[in-house]
Structure 1
Amino acid sequence: MITRRHLIASAAAATAGASLIRPFAAMAQNLTGDIYALDGTDTLSIHPISHASFVMTTPAGVIYVDPVGGGALYEALPAPDAILITHHHGDHFDPDTLAALTQRAGGPVPMITNPTVHEQLDPEVGAAATAMENGQNAELLGLPIEAIPAYNFTEERLQYHPKGRDNGYIIEVGGKRVYIAGDTEDTDEMKALEDIDIAFVPFNMPYTMTEAQAATGVGGFAPGVVYPYHYNDSDLDLFESLLSEQDVPTDVVRGTWYS
């Protein structure tokens, strides 16, 4: 398993073909983010924001994922060219934040949501929005995207995320496949994923899953890199330790969630 310590030590190798370039000092100073090499000379950058919100800068445009917290939280980053929303809970879907971002972008931006969120969108904000159901395929900014089921199956958690309602997403960017899990447990659908380069996986109780479930889920599909997110006070060290026991080639990246 490649550890974060190994990545820091080998950062100088990034220009020699390594897929992950980790500009830690720059990230802290100007929100450069974590930069990943794509096909050709293109790059993908990941900007963790807070909890389950983050921004991806891609060759096709800037994609906001589950933006909440108010428009001011995103002022240091470019305006969105597109928005992804996994489900309607307030830590993933905030109409006021969407309104502020839409205004900053100069009008409605392409948006993909699950059907529940789509029904709740303000017509002006959601004028360019598309609803996707589990298993459907579409494009966002010309990038292929698939809606992955995100749900609870443990009996005492069924009330939070019932099967069939909420989305995770796989989006393909320049030869990389990025999996955004949303709120879910370690479902069979998650563990059956293939060829995932970058993954965002939640764990916090009682809403999603335990550290052990998260490690089992990630171990099942063995992405190149996993960002733990939506973890609140969960034990990241425990998650990383349990994942390392599965002997999968996955790097755990503890993103700098700067708010």
Structure 2
Amino acid sequence: MNINKLFLLLCIGAISFSCKEVKKSDSEVTEAEAEMSTSMKNEAKDTEITITPIEHATAVLEWNNEVIYIDPTGGAATFEGQKNATLILITDIHGDHLNIETLKELEITNATFVVPQAVAEELPEYAEQLVILDNGSSKELNGITIEAIAMYNLRSEALKFHNKGRGNGYVITIGDQRIYFSGDTEDIPEMRSLKNIDKAFVCMNLPYTMTVESAAEAVLDFKPKQVYPYHYRGNPDVSDVAKFKQLVDAGNQDIEVVQLDWYPNDEY
């Protein structure tokens, strides 16, 4: 065999070996991509948000290692089976939102409170745990963004219940979800101008907040993907949540009305 033929055979062999290595590398990349895809799916499962209604205005949100108590009331027994709070959001000074006896019964030494100034003044013993937000301000805590939204009355006969600037509604951004808790309010401009809300928890009880008609009109304005009527026990009547659903469905069938059990001990 002459030198030229030997050189040609060596070149062909080198090319063949290189192709095999490329194919092997492609296989390794495919396996890595598969592992990454599985990891991303697992991560997506980890970021699922669980929302548990407790009673009236009280709820628990759970996401990854974060546990958010909204207006914790009802005593420690009400939270039996729930994980300890890492964040506590309180909307107002009234007893169905701020209940100091309940706070004393819960294990909340490691929790951060988000509150308006009026609530902070009622909680001097928790001063080091408080983050105070005024209407329109926001704060990121533990990877969660919390925006304070105004909540107040509009009807002249209800102005004595909630004046503007005292309490907070909240928009909570968790991952790609924006969740709104109205607190005690009427269909105020600040609610109607909300954008990109995935889940809206909207109050409707007389004489303290608003009618189901006003609540429905506001929801049809800001168009959340889902709306959860809550805080609907009034004095003396309970608001007609079925009528609220009818009004929202008639106005925009793309908005899903979700009814949770906010009064487990009552026949509502």
TM-score scaled by length of structure 2 = 0.78
Residue 131 of structure 1: how far off its partner (Å): 1.0
Matched residue SS, 1:216: helix
- 1:61 is aligned to 2:66: yes
Counterparts of 1:84 and 1:141, CA distance in 2: 14
The CA distance in 2 between the partners of 1:149 and 1:248, in whole Å, is 27
Q: Are 1:60 and 1:142, in contact at CA under 8 Å, matched by a contact in 2?
A: no
**Relative to 1, partners in 2 of residues 1:139 and 1:169: Cα closer, same or farther, differing over 3 Å?**
same
Describe how 1:120-199 pairs up with structure 2 within 5 A. Answer: 120-123=122-125, 125-199=126-200
| CA displacement 1:17-76 (0-9 Å, x = unmatched) | xxxxxxxxxxxxxxxxxxxx9x83320000000000000001250000001011111011
Residue of structure 1 equivalent to 2:215: 214
1:247 Cα shift? Answer: 1.7
Summarize deviations over 1:163-188 as a string: whole Å, max 9, x none.
11110000100100000100000111
Q: Alignment length, in residue pairs?
A: 219
Structure with the bigger RCO (C-alpha within 8 Å, sep 6+) is: 1
Q: Find the aligned partners of 1:244 and 1:238 in 2 and give their Cα distance.
A: 10
1:73 paired residue number? 78
Highest CA radius of gyration, 1 or 2?
2
**RMSD of equivalent CA atoms:** 1.7
Segment drifting more, 114-123 vs 198-207: 114-123
Q: Deviations over 1:202-225 (max 9, x none)?
A: 000010000100101111111111
Write the distance in 1 (CA, Å) between the matches of 2:74 and 2:138.
29
Q: Give yes or no for contact 2:227–2:255 (8 Å, CA) kept in 1.
A: yes
Which one of 47, 57, 62 corresponds to residue 52 of structure 1? 57
Q: 4+ residue stretches of structure 1 with deviation over 3 A? A: none
Contact 1:219 1:248 in 2 (8 A): no
Partner of residue 40 from structure 1, selected from 36, 39, 44: 44
1:140, distance to aligned residue in structure 2 (A): 2.7
Structure 2 partner of 1:112 = 114
Aligned AA (1:40): A
Counterparts of 1:135 and 1:188, CA distance in 2: 13
- Which of 86, 90, 94 in structure 1 is aligned with 2:91? 86
Structure 1, unmatched stretches of 5+, are 1-36
SS in structure 1 of the partner of residue 121 of structure 2: helix
More strand per residue = 1
- The residue number in structure 2 matching 1:237 is 242
Q: Which structure shows the higher helix fraction?
A: 2
* Distance across 2 between alignment mates of 1:150 and 1:195: 19
Once the two structures are superposed, residues 219-259 of structure 1 have per-residue CA deviations (whole angstroms, 9 ceiling, x without a partner) of: 11111111111101110111111111212511111112334
TM-score normalised per structure 1:
0.81
3-state SS of 1:170 partner? strand
Letter paired with 2:61: M
Distance in 1, Cα, partners of 2:59 & 2:155: 27
